[in-house]
Chains A and B, each alone.
Chain A
Amino acid sequence: GAVVSQHPSRVICKSGTSVKIECRSLDFQATTMFWYRQFPKQSLMLMATSNEGSKATYEQGVEKDKFLINHASLTLSTLTVTSAHPEDSSFYICSARDSVGVQETQYFGPGTRLLVL
């Protein structure tokens, strides 16, 4: 149980285009999901907290108009990188918290590698 999927697993796009990444909890409901960014050989940095049915909460320094988050259902959150530029190239990982399970535990997706040319 507690499986989180992400789609796509890898995406290459041209500078200036927008890219949408999906995060799904497959066998549990998640009122809260988190989006992280990870550069090579570095730790995970929290970008934002995604709450079902309400606006996302962004961490300091993360542009909300650049990284659009939508959490429209209890099993799906999306991250859209708008007008992507080469510096946005990174590994994006989501996690989800089981709404009825142990509140602290986060289950991570497999990640999406974004390369902006």
Chain B
Amino acid sequence: GENVEQHPSTLSVQEGDSAVIKCTYSDSASNYFPWYKQELGKGPQLIIDIRSNVGEKKDQRIAVTLNKTAKHFSLHITETQPEDSAVYFCAASNKAAGNKLTFGGGTRVLVKP
């Protein structure tokens, strides 16, 4: 089955700086890669996703890049703000596996004011 590795497990940045989280996946058939933000005591919230036919996607301060050959994808947050502090999860899925999501281990991001 699919295995998703996520790094780093914790990330501390100064407000205004950029944050980058990286994930690798094992199943070359995976074709959908969402990123979720989870605040304490709440459910995950979809913040951005990318499909395998696209190499990069951007939404305001958030961008995701995908390298299918290397089987890795990354989340980039620019101009970080204290409200960006949360746990971020990457995930991967493919249609053949019923579109079930396999999650990375999560990255705890702390933005220091």
Contacts and interface: CB of A to CB of B under 8 A. Distances in A.
The secondary-structure label for the interface of chain A is strand
A111 B41 contact: yes
B34 A43 contact: no
A57 B100 CA distance: 11
Contact of B99 (A104, A110, A113): A104
A10 B44 CA distance: 17
Interface residues of A, number: 23
A3 B99 CA distance: 19
Given A43-B104, A105-B49, A97 B36 contact: no
Given A43-B89, A111-B41, A49 B101 contact: no
A34 interface: yes
A111 B43 contact: yes
B51 to A, nearest CB: 8
A106 B43 contact: no
A44 B41 contact: no
Given A49-B98, A104-B32, A104-B93, A43 B43 contact: no
Interface string A101-117: 00111111111010000
A113 B41 CA distance: 8
Contact of A43 (B46, B95, B103): B103
B28 interface: no
A34 B100 contact: yes
A42 B104 CA distance: 10
Contacts of A4: 43
Contacts of B45: 108
Given A104-B51, A108-B43, 4 more contacts: A4-B43, A43-B103, A44-B101, A104-B32
Return the 10 tightest CB-CB contacts between A and B, nearest first.
A104-B32, A108-B43, A111-B43, A110-B43, A43-B103, A108-B44, A44-B103, A43-B105, A93-B43, A43-B106
Interface of A: 4, 6, 32, 34, 42-44, 46, 49, 57, 93, 95, 97, 103-111, 113
